[in-house]
């Protein structure tokens, strides 16, 4: 196939992204991107194009890879995530109907007094749930929506905070599904260190993830916004237009208490962690005379562990709320259907995005990017981390997958540098940071889609409002990687990055964010 392994491999996601930004229509844009990918794979043969879109196979024998909608839906990993989404939707519906959400909102109104406090509380909850980005997005959204709504924080701002504490936090947490994926990718390569050791060494140089934390906290504390987010926030605190896809009914029941919200959430978090430990073989290792939590998370499968834990948590919550008599059996049964319905838009977008990723992968995007990287390696050696960062950002943005991006780039990056050099760690960090950055900005990223679902906001509104923020941190991160290629000291480079981020925040507040600051002051006084 003449289009495989060339720039044409990136055309389908580029078409989808451009159309989405122009038309503001997600489903149609993704479908057109899939159609373009199928046309390229089929050499513009109409019959084979339809076959590739539904269920086709690229390659021969053991190297054959299935593409199309059926392949995306039937993949065990994707199916497990779909089940987890449904379980979480049902859990949210149960807690809502039982009055737990209303009780939590009443408690939060007494204890979280300001908009800044609500945003910081959302941020810290996102940091605490570092195990998995999907889990983070949906859980933080479900818990904090009543709080942010009460302080008239737009759903666009909520979805940004959720997204900023999902993948960026998971990428600097040694015990997470992301650490496991990176470790697995790097462990088979001859570097002299284990995959998890390389991951931990790369954390201080992961400028995008670390500076995103500084940016979110600073933005919240300084109380300003810029770009499309400023308009969304103004509409929220001035006119009460939060940007929700639909008003979620909050049933205030006399018997409901704060525990009806907290116990299901604690059960969900605890049992999902236990589920991931179990799938990772933690108790098998204990039976053999040793316990290693990091190894368990390194071996786990989030698509099995998360549904495992959420199903048990859902059953216990079902029984608990019935015994508390805050919900009837018929109401609980209705929540199964309503919870599923609530997750259909997210599942539909995710299905389209996953199918598009299969098309892009089958067209050989990894081969094309590998050629670019090898060409760059012959050039400015000390500038390679900055170049790797940009390539990773572009690839993750175009394909919508950070896991796929570092899966493609890590085997390419490692042979470029000496195994003993600090520049190897900086290069890996650039790869990981760029993957997270591109994923954070991409409209077809599954994490971005989950953040939209968690905040119950229009997906493209979330993408357009957070893009200027992500680009700001990305620009500072690029400067840091340029410096790191020569200095190779994380304390110096990260210190410079923090100073630049804080300086950028004050500069933005006094320029493009000045009107936003004045509007908020007027609202607070009123």
Span 466-498, pLDDT tens digits: 999 999 999 999 999 999 988 889 899 999 999
Q: Is pLDDT above 80 for 57?
A: no
110 in a structural domain: yes
Sorting pLDDT into bands at 50, 70 and 90, what band is 61?
low
Q: Is the pTM of this model over 0.85?
A: no
Number of domains in the chain: 1
Instruction: Choose from 34-48, 78-92, 126-140, 184-198 the range with maximum mean pLDDT.
Output: 34-48
CA distance 221 to 231: 19
pLDDT-based confidence at residue 373 (cuts at 50, 70, 90)? low
- Look at residue 311 and tell me if it is in a domain: yes
Q: Dig out the tokens for 457 from the structure.
A: 């906001």
List the single range of 157-171, 252-266, 368-382 with lowest mean pLDDT. 368-382
User: Would you say residue 281 lies in a domain?
Assistant: yes
Residue 133: φ, ψ to 5°: -70, -40
**480 belongs to a structural domain:** no
Residue range 116-134: mean pLDDT, rounded: 82
Q: How far is CA 262 from CA 107, 162, 168, 258, 344, in A?
A: 12, 19, 26, 6, 26
Write down the pLDDT at residue 375.
61
How many alpha carbons fall within 13 Å on the CB side of residue 445?
Answer: 33
Inside any domain, residue 141: yes
When comparing pLDDT for 445 and 366, which is higher?
A: 445
**Residue 232, domain member (yes or no):** no
Angle 520-523-526 from CA coordinates, rounded to 5°: 150
Reply yes or no on whether the pLDDT at 63 is more than 90: no
> Is the predicted pLDDT of residue 133 greater than 70, yes or no?
yes
**Out of 44-58, 95-109, 449-463, 470-484, least confident range:** 95-109
Task: Look up the domain containing 137 and give its range.
Answer: 76-173+250-350
Return the pLDDT at 378: 54
Three-class secondary structure assignment of 19-37: HHHHHCCHHHHHHHHHHHH
Q: Determine the pLDDT at residue 468.
A: 94
Dist CA 382 CA 424 (whole Å): 11
Give 264 or 106, the one with higher predicted confidence. 264
Q: Using the 8-state DSSP alphabet, how is residue 75 labeled?
A: S
- Residue 497: what pLDDT? 96
More confident residue, 60 or 497: 497
**Tokens encoding 194:** 């284990």
Within a domain: 202: no
Quote the pLDDT of residue 341. 83
Instruction: Find which of 160-169, 301-310, 368-377 is predicted with most confidence, using mean pLDDT.
Output: 160-169
Tokens of residue 5, six digits: 């392994």
* pLDDT per position as a tens digit, 16-33: 877 876 776 767 888 898
In a domain, 336, yes or no: yes
Asked if 376 and 13 touch (Cβ cutoff 8 Å), the reply is: no
């Amino acid at each position: 196939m003449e289009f495989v392994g060339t720039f044409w491999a990136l055309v389908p996601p580029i078409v989808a992204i451009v159309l989405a930004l122009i038309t503001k229509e997600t489903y149609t844009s993704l479908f057109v991107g899939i159609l373009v990918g199928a046309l390229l794979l089929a050499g513009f043969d109409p019959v084979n194009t339809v076959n590739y879109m539904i269920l086709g196979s690229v390659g021969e024998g053991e190297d054959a890879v299935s593409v199309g909608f059926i392949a995306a839906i039937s993949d065990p990993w994707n199916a497990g995530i779909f089940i987890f989404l449904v379980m979480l939707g049902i859990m949210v519906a149960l807690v809502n109907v039982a009055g737990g959400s209303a009780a939590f909102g009443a408690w939060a109104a007494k204890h979280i007094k300001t908009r800044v406090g609500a945003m910081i509380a959302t941020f810290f909850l996102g940091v605490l749930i570092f195990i998995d980005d999907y889990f983070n997005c949906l859980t933080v959204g479900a818990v904090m929506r009543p709080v942010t709504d009460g302080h008239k924080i737009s759903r666009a701002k909520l979805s940004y905070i959720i997204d900023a504490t999902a993948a960026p936090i998971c990428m600097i947490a040694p015990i997470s599904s992301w650490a496991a994926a990176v470790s697995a990718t790097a462990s088979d390569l001859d570097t002299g260190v284990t995959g998890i050791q390389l991951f931990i060494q790369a954390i201080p140089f992961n400028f995008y993830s670390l500076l995103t934390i500084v940016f979110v906290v600073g933005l919240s504390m300084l109380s300003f916004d810029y770009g499309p987010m400023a308009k969304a926030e103004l509409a929220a605190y001035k006119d009460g237009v939060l940007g929700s896809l639909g008003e979620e009914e909050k049933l205030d029941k006399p018997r409901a208490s704060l525990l009806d919200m907290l116990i299901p959430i604690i059960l969900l978090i605890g049992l999902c962690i236990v589920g991931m430990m179990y799938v990772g073989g933690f108790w098998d290792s204990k039976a053999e005379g040793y316990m290693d939590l990091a190894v368990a998370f390194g071996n786990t499968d989030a698509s099995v562990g998360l549904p495992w834990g959420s199903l048990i948590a859902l059953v216990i919550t079902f029984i608990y709320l019935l015994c508390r008599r805050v919900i009837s059996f018929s109401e609980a049964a209705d929540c199964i259907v309503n919870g599923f319905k609530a997750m259909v838009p997210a599942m539909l977008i995710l299905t389209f995005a996953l199918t598009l990723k299969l098309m892009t992968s089958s067209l050989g995007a990894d081969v094309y990017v590998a050629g670019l990287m090898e060409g760059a390696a012959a050039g400015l050696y000390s500038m390679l981390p900055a170049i790797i960062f940009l390539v990773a950002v572009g690839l993750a943005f175009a394909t919508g997958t950070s896991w796929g991006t570092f899966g493609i780039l890590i085997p390419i990056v490692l042979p470029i540098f000496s195994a003993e050099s600090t520049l190897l760690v900086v290069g890996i960090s650039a790869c990981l940071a760029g993957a997270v950055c591109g994923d954070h900005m991409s409209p077809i990223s599954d994490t971005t889609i989950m953040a939209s679902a968690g905040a119950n906001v229009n997906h493209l509104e979330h993408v357009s409002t957070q893009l200027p923020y992500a680009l700001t941190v990305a620009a500072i991160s690029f400067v840091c990687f340029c410096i790191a290629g020569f200095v190779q000291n994380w304390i110096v480079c990260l210190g410079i990055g923090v100073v630049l981020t804080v300086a950028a925040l004050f500069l933005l507040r006094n320029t493009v964010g000045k009107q936003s600051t004045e509007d908020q002051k007027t609202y607070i006084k009123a």
